[in-house]
Structure 1
Amino acid sequence: METPIPDLSALNHQPAGRHGKIQAVGDELFFADGTPARFWGANLQAYALFTTEPRFMRAHAQRLSRLGFNLVRIHHHDSHWVQPNIFGSEAQTTRKLDAFSLKKLDQWIAALKAEGLYIWLDLHVGRSFTNEDGVEDFEEIAKGETSIRVKGFSYISPSIEALMLDFQDKYLRHINKITGLSYAEDPAVIAVMITNENDLTHHFGNALLPDKNVPRHNAVYMAAAREFALENGIDPELTWRSWLHGPSKLFLNELERRFNDRMIENIEATGFEGLITTTSLWGGMSVAGLPSLTRGSMVDAHSYGSSGEVFYDPRTRSGFLDWLSIGQVVGMPFSVSEWNIGEFPGDDRFIAPLSVAVRAAHQGWDAPIVYGYAQQPLNGPLRPTNWSMAEDPAMMAMMPAAALLYRQGHVRLAEKTYALCPDHEAFFGNSITPASSVGIRTIVEQSRLVTCMPDTPALPWLQASVLEEQQHEILDTEHSYLEPDAQTVAADTGDFYRAFNDGLIVIDTAKTQAAAGHLSDKTVATTNVAFEVENPTAAVVVQSLDDEEITTSGRILVSLAGRAVPEELSFRIEPLVGRLQIKASPRLTLRFPDQKKAAVGAHSFQDGMHVIDLEKLGAGNWFYLE
């Protein structure tokens, strides 16, 4: 682990759960005692869950808290490629939960809870059912293999559903031997997901089609499609064709709804009173995949970006955060249980935490969760990868800054709300996405976007969105909300802008001021800071830590990130060159988080400004002025 690091643990409730159970009130989250809830999270997954020693669990729980996280999603607990997993090592059946694996999860949950980190539990991720589990028509799915993954099939197979119900019942009723509480009744466990990245509407409906050589499953699917079409007076030949927009999207949402309702009833029977997500909007899905997701108490989405996101012109293409923006349904909380830069190592990956935090705060999202903190055992050095970023100096450098900005509301909620409200024929009949809509792409960095659920006779359970009490404007999906000659896109609050021609993001608020992207050959000025950085790609953030404005703050955090190139078990880090000028109290002195002073000669006070020579700071991602 890098040292020293800042300590944001005072932001957390210690222990997690001391304000009571979580609850959704409209599109906001509160604890039982009325305390508002907002989560900045990380995924903890796979081998990290079951092979990390308890002393390292406690150390990483403390570190996560210090870095500003207050939510951890437990993920890939059941995946077939993880050995051991929740079923043990090379288990012949997945009908039994392994006592040793449960003990490891108990230890993690207790350690995280003690440090003020809330828990999100996935119920089904990558479980590979065996031929000993009793799945009906197992051989049809297996095609000669000894185990099967059941995405898509879970929605129409009673035996697969029964196995999933049995698992989630046992899992949520399990008594944590350390806390003395079942997972279901522990107020620190705030959310569950029924099934990860498992939808019929855009991905796994195709697994059930006539050409997939699954005749018994296809027969069930086709019979259900015919029945739905006849009941609703729609064309049966269009209803079963899952790859087409139109009637099939209505039918597939209905199949998902039936399954979700049964799963939710079982979850609630365990005593769980927290947030339930069904699955996620992910992998290029259109808004037609949202209706069944509203059967939970919170809508969730996933999206992964690429290098150079800071340069995209929204008039011509979409960014990864735009795909998340269409998932914010009117009147419901919204989480992002997976986000990251999908390629590794992207030179500018350290910009992503700031981008996510800014967008989430401006849009009013409730729980962004990076994927992932660790997928490898946390007993020693980690191999560099974006799925185990615990030791990535690029990504970790910006996490405290992003957490502080988002959790403390340094970037304000947008002043104006646009509503994406097509009628049901367009909603289900067209592929409405950021890729197809210039209106979506050009508005979501300027103002808030919410998506309406349409009045849909074929789906009587779908609650049509009501907007009377909101100040909003209906989004024109075909209209560009940027002028043809625009080179920047800016928030309607004035809190940030992105100069996409220059590849630059600038944040300028009373308590956070930052510049990230391609900074060389220019001076970037905010209200109280001048950023003069010679590195081609970097991020620098100046923030108040004591709830004062930067100019009057008695404690300022400076966060730095540059390019970091992975080697076998470490990174080669490019030091930043240039200087900062910060208008703040003259009484402040620059120091490392665990030292009284920083490098000699790195700091001076001239003409009412703190001047910091970045090259003289030496190693380190964080410094204080205090």
Structure 2
Amino acid sequence: MNKKFCVIILYFILFITYMFSQTFYFYLPWDDYSQNVVDLSFLNHKPAGQYGFVTVGNDGHFYIGSERIKFLGVNFTAASCFPQKTQAEVIARRLAKFGINVVRLHFLDNMWGFSIFGYPGTYNNTRSFNSEALDRLDYFIAKLKENGIYVNINLLVGRNFMPGDGLPSSIDNLDWKQKQVPAMFYQTMIDLQKEYATNLLTRLNPYTNTYYNNEPAIAFVEIVNEQGLVHGWLDGTIDILPQEFSEDLRVKWNNWLVDKYQTHQNLLSSGWAIDEPLGPEILRNTDFSQGFQYWGQEVHDVAKASFSIVNGGGYGGSNAVKIVIENTSQTSWHVQFKQSNLVVFSTNVYTLSFYAKADRNISINVQLGMDHEPWNILGFNQLINLTTYYQYFTFTLMPSADDTNARICFTNMCRELATYYFSNISFKKGGSI
């Protein structure tokens, strides 16, 4: 080895050794609120709110009275919003030492840990508060206020609405985040949110002796976090809403259209509606007379399934594809039946229709999506409820993007050892939307 190179390596090792010899253990104890040169707590109003409520001035800045205020905040999430009383004061004083003057209380209504409703599994509705959680929350807010720290309370964040709230049992077909989409329009769920807000914000905090709706230390109240109808439309939740909720939304939407446009012709003239005659069939081998030609079957991981053509087994004596799930998987895409290589455009309206049944009452999904990475849904992902007799399903849709290798795909079929039948599958350009 080159002697010069060896000398360079040696010097480098010696330099690194020297540098590490000068390091020391650096630790910031979570419970240190000692008053020293780095203590910034003197900057906070003590107690928070002593000069009045936080307002927004004409210049768009925050004020308390005539004084400008700037916020330096942190986020407390889920169970951390309910510290034990022995910890609450220490946490508040520690935050104040760093100059923190606002705390965002996020996911008070979480469903995976200790929450405002209690511990998971201990409640069957989200209309009653847990007394221990409220007591911890009240005490923590009191200590934050005492140390000059304002509070941001979040309302709808992680609430896992339940049938026990007076909702249809089908609400449990959605995950906790998806459940919040019907909460934007379904009246019972709107009333539940009003009830929650009223019960929380009209309470008396026994440690401050102030009602929350008259507490100047409460600087902000977030009504809803990262949710809305547009969110639900873009992420596909609107397309998989159980019938009770989708029908309610359809009625409300149609009533709004009638109020705004009065007649169908006025609506068409507005440019906000499309009414096109159906074009030629886009799918190939829709009657399965050529077996599975052009139709793909996917089975992944632990799932097992068999696919066959039943001559005359479809609706009205047509041919049907029969899918038998022989081993289950809880991963929705582990069994798929699809036709790919479809060219779709986001400016076009399309109509998808088919007949389907199963050997039991069960829900599956039908999608329009990419048949290539990154496998995105193209604006249509519909939950359908199958029964033991053939039902006719028809959907009018507009893709969320252009694609030259899209697919119509039946999926989410392998959660149970079920048998499915599909016939008369059609996908055409045109329709009313």
What TM-score do you get using the length of structure 2 for normalisation?
0.50
What TM-score do you get using the length of structure 1 for normalisation?
0.35
Q: Which has the larger radius of gyration?
A: 2
